[in-house]
């Protein structure tokens, strides 16, 4: 019969359509029975609804629900500072300039000043700018920083009304604490801390034997 192909295709669409209601009902009964928290607005159901077992409506109800980004997600860079118990900040960045050298569109500007007494460079950036209208979110700066000082942030809600004032991020805007970094990238943080501890242990062992 002419038109059978179209009808079969419509059957596929009908199947998707019915599946959205069946799926809703499944979640509804799950919520009533207490097995789950309902279809929307909780993180557990979001993981199921957005994974490879997804059936029914595939939508993420932004802004009430936000799809969590994976750990490796990279948006804009940020500078990490260590904070001790008293609240003193110590920038990890030593203004070595590798991130500025490796940045493909050259959007990082660093000013490194010299100590007026000794004439040697201070291992801290005096000024650090990133022009986010040029940054391509490639992550090379974070990948090649030898001091784990610049990392890629997860914050993507940065829309603004004015770019001239706000889109060149200075050091103040870019600095976030190591605790924040640990919260967004736990696996990487744990690995780096382990490596740092191992290096410290090796150094102290060598100092002891020497």
Partner 1 sequence: MTEATQTSTDLADLFPGVATRDERPGYTGAIVPADQLIDFARTLRDTHGYDYLSSVTGVDYLPEDKMEVVYHAFRSAGGPAAVFRTQVSRADPVVPSLVPIYPGADLQEREAWDLLGIRFAGHPDLRRILMWEGFAGHPLRKDWQETYYEEDGKPYKNRWPDGQVYRIEDKQPVGQNATFPEAFDPERWIPETETALYAGLARGGNGGNGHAIDTDTIVVNLGPQHPSTHGVFRMVASIEGETIIDLKPVMGYLHRNHEKIGERNTFLMNMPFTDRLDYFCSMGNNFGYALAVEKLMGIRPPERAEYIRVIMAELTRIVNHLATIGFLLNDLGAFFTPVIYAFGERELILDVFEATSGSRMMCNYFRFGGLARDLPEGVLEQIRELVFERLPRRIDEIDAFLTNNEIVRNRCIGVGVLTRDQALALSAAGPMLRASGVPYDVRRADPYGIYDRFDFDVPVRSNGDIYDRYLIRIDEMRQSLRILQQAVRDIPDGEIQTGKPQYQVRVPAGESYGRVENPKGELGYYVVSTGKPNPWRYHVRAPSFINLTGLGLMCRGHKVADVVAILGSIDIVLGEVDR
Partner 2 sequence: MPDELEKGIPIPPELLNTVAVTTLDKVYGWSRRNSVWPMMFGLACCGIEMIATATSRYDFSRFGMEVMRPSPRQSDLMIVSGTVTKKMVPQIVRLYNQMPEPKYVMAMGACASGGGPFKEGYNVVSGIDKYIPVDVYVPGCPPTPQALLHGLMKVQEKIDGESVRTVRWYRPELSEARPIPVLGPDIFDPRDVETLKNPPSPPEAAEAEAVSS
* Contacted entry of partner 2, partner 1, none for residue 63, CB cut-off 5 to 8 Å set by kind: partner 2
- The strand pairing partners of 114, in sequence order, are 121
Burial of 162 (0-12, 13-18, 19+ CB in 10 A): exposed
β-strand 127-131 against 168-169: which pairing, if any? antiparallel
* Residue closest to 65 by CA, chosen among 96, 93, 44, 36: 44
Which one of residues 24, 36, 76, 109 is an interface residue with partner 1 (CB under 8 A)?
A: 109
**Please, how many CA atoms are within 13 Å of residue 7, restricted to the half-sphere of its CB?**
4
* Residue 47 binding partner 1, by CB under 8 A: no
> Considering only 9-17, 19-27, 36-44, 196-204, which stretch makes contact with partner 1 by CB under 8 A?
9-17
Count of chain residues binding partner 1 (CB under 8 A): 49
**Measured between alpha carbons, how far is 192 from 149 in angstroms, rounded to an integer?**
11
Which CB sits closer to partner 1, 143 or 193?
Answer: 143
Binder of partner 1 out of 48, 76, 102, 182 (CB under 8 A)? 102
Q: Which long-range contacts link 170-173 to residues 24+ away (Cβ below 8 Å)?
A: 170/127, 170/128, 170/129, 171/79, 171/125, 171/127, 171/128, 171/129
Positions in 124-153 near partner 1 (CB under 8 A)? 127, 129, 131, 136-140, 143-144, 152
Which of partner 2, partner 1, none does residue 6 bind (CB under 5 to 8 Å by kind)?
A: partner 1
120: DSSP letter: S
Residues that bind partner 2 (CB under 8 A): 50, 57-63, 66-67, 69, 75-76, 104-105, 131-137, 156-163, 167
Query: Which of partner 1, partner 2, none does residue 158 bind (CB under 5 to 8 Å by kind)?
Result: partner 2
Between β-strands 150-152 and 108-111, what pairing exists: parallel, antiparallel or unpaired? unpaired
Residue closer to partner 1 by CB (options 86, 165) is: 165
Instruction: Name which of partner 2, partner 1, none residue 200 binds, using a CB cut-off of 5 to 8 Å depending on partner kind.
Output: none
Nearby residues of 192 by Cβ (< 8 Å), 6 or more positions away: 148
Residue ranges binding partner 1 (CB under 8 A) = 2-6, 8-9, 12-13, 16, 50-52, 54, 58, 69-74, 95, 97-98, 100-104, 106, 108-112, 121, 127, 129, 131, 136-140, 143-144, 152, 168, 187
């Amino acid at each position: 019969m002419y038109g059978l192909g179209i009808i079969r295709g419509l059957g596929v669409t009908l199947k998707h359509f019915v599946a959205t209601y069946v799926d809703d009902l499944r979640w509804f009964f799950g919520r009533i029975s207490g097995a789950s928290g309902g279809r929307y607005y909780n993180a557990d159901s979001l993981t199921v609804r957005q994974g490879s077992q997804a059936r029914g409506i595939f939508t993420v109800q932004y802004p009430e629900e936000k799809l969590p980004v994976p750990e490796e997600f990279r948006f804009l860079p940020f500078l990490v500072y260590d904070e001790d118990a008293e609240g003193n900040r110590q920038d990890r960045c030593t203004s070595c300039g590798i991130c500025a050298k490796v940045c493909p569109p050259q959007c990082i500007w660093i000013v490194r000043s010299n100590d007026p007494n000794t004439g040697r460079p201070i291992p801290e950036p005096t000024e650090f700018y990133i022009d986010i209208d040029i940054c391509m979110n490639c992550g090379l700066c974070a990948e090649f920083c030898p001091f784990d000082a610049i990392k890629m942030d997860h914050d993507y809600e940065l829309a603004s009304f004015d770019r001239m004032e706000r889109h060149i991020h200075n050091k103040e805007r870019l600095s976030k604490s190591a605790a924040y970094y640990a919260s967004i990238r736990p696996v990487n943080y744990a690995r780096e801390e382990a490596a740092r501890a191992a290096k410290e242990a090796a150094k102290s062992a060598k100092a002891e034997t020497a």
